[in-house]
Amino acid sequence: MKLITNNAEFLNEFTRLLAEYNEYFFLTAWAGCNFNALNELRENSAKIRKVVVGLHFYQTHPDFIEMFLENQNVKFIEETAGVFHPKLYLFSNSSDEWEILVGSHNFTRAAFTKNVETAVLISNVDNNSQDTYDRAMCFISEKFAMGQSFDKDKLANYRNVSNMQQRKIKGLSGQYHGQTKSVMPIYSIPILTRTWNEFYTDCKNERAHSLDGRLRRQEHTHALHYQMCQRNRAVEILRLSKLTRCSDQ
């Protein structure tokens, strides 16, 4: 048994396990695209026996679903009473020769490269290993039976909704753990955390930009807009008048 606390070590172990074992049994809350572990999984897709992926919050990338659209050993959890949230990767040659990675890593590029994650590597030589293996296989089989396959129409619908949801998710996200460009989380932006009454009171009491001043500025802007509309209307009437005279001649 080994505790893994950095992404490079996790990726190295994951890559080793893909190469050394002949059967893959995975559970993950979300799956992404465009990272090395996924490319290697695709190259070894014939070894997939049972892979189950969650879809909650539309965090699983549509491209991942499309990659395995024809693979009946890859299924997706559409509905549960709660969020489908396991991260368990079992690699096996037999019931006597296997290893499991279990921890916080989803099957995504962020989890494998930049997130702060931890995992434990368990093998058939560890204490109580047979019970661990039996319970893991039972749990995976149970969730696999709950999973659903996708077809092209369902995938197209999922992709449309996922694209809309990602824009909302990006608007709420910040950056963490050594990012060179800092993004302020939404709860640290004062104007976005005030109630309407607090915002109104702040505007009313502000000296540099008082409420009366803001209202006068709005009235002035409205007047300028009205004048511009009138000018544009006069220009259009003049243009139409010239066109009418030319046609009469």
In degrees, rounded to 5, the angle at the alpha carbon of residue 87 between the alpha carbons of residues 83 and 89 is 145
Shared-domain flag, residues 44 and 139: yes
pLDDT the model gives residue 238: 84
C-beta separation of 183 from 174 below 8 A: yes
Asked, for residue 55, whether it belongs to a domain, the answer is: yes
C-beta separation of 92 from 22 below 8 A: yes
pLDDT above 90 (res 211): no
Mean pLDDT of the chain, nearest integer: 89
The tally of domains found in the chain comes to 2
pLDDT above 90 (res 79): no
Q: How confident is the model at residue 74 (pLDDT cuts 50, 70, 90)?
A: very high
Shared-domain flag, residues 150 and 242: no
Give the domain extent around 216: 194-249
Asked, for residue 188, whether it belongs to a domain, the answer is: no
Asked, for residue 183, whether it belongs to a domain, the answer is: no
- Which residue, 140, 172, 204, sits at the end of a domain? 172
Gap between the Cα atoms of 106 and 87, Å rounded? 6
Gap between the Cα atoms of 13 and 101, Å rounded? 9
Q: Which residues contact 48 (CB under 8 A, 6 or more apart)?
A: 24, 26, 41, 71, 73, 74
Q: Average the pLDDT over 176-197 and give the result.
A: 68
